[in-house]
Amino acid sequence: MDAVVFDLDGVLVDSEQTWDEVRRAVVADHGGSWTATATRAMQGMSTPEWARYLVEHLGARLTPDRIAQVVIDQMAQRYAGGPPVLPGAAAAVHAVGERYPVAIASSSPPVLIQAFLEATGLTGLVEVALSSEQVAAGKPAPDVYLEAARRLGKDPARCAAVEDTTNGLKAALAAGMTVYAVPNPHFPPDPAVLAQVHRVLDTVADLPAALRE
């Protein structure tokens, strides 16, 4: 293994529910209607993709650019006191970073990725911090993982990826990486997709030991 690429939301930060709450509230405030499939459909989407989804599929009466700004501003307010870092997450990245180059490949916008790095003191350790806003397509497309590997100067087939949701797992698998799953307890991944990963972990804190094995 030449490098390790982490997802952010649900793997390092307990934020999947917060994204869901904020988007639901913004859609309701602007005349849209939530659907039973909306939450899972948007997991892994880049900012432009989920913003269009809120407008075109859920009927929110704002432009995609404006609704993206409203949602991100509210997320930033939630992060104002520090992002909800999962127990053991920062220590796990530190431990992995002592042995491998590490990257973050996230669907979060750059401002929230940076908030996590600064809050955890990982800015100097994480060599590449990439948002799917910066590539052609969000997860489940592999673009953000492939670009992270390219920026690290590594072959994706020699990288490990750490993911929690169905679309994230699909993206990492499509990139040809060795995938470690930390299933999100609030939004469990599709069992058929989970069956394709290299290993399933209880928490991200288990990753350093799993990589040593």
pLDDT tens across 88-101, in order? Answer: 999 999 999 999 99
Amino acid 43: pLDDT = 87
| Res. 16: pLDDT tops 90 | no
Confidence of residue 61 (pLDDT cuts 50, 70, 90): very high
| Res. 80: pLDDT tops 90 | no
pLDDT tens across 38-53, in order? Answer: 998 998 898 999 999 9
Amino acid 122: pLDDT = 96
Quote the tokens at residue 33.
Answer: 């209607």
Q: For 22-32, what is the mean pLDDT?
A: 97
Under 8 Å between Cβ of 34 and 28: yes
Under 8 Å between Cβ of 167 and 12: no
What's this model's pTM, rounded to 2 decimal places? 0.90
Report CA-CA distances (Å) from 72 to 22, 23, 169.
Answer: 9, 9, 24
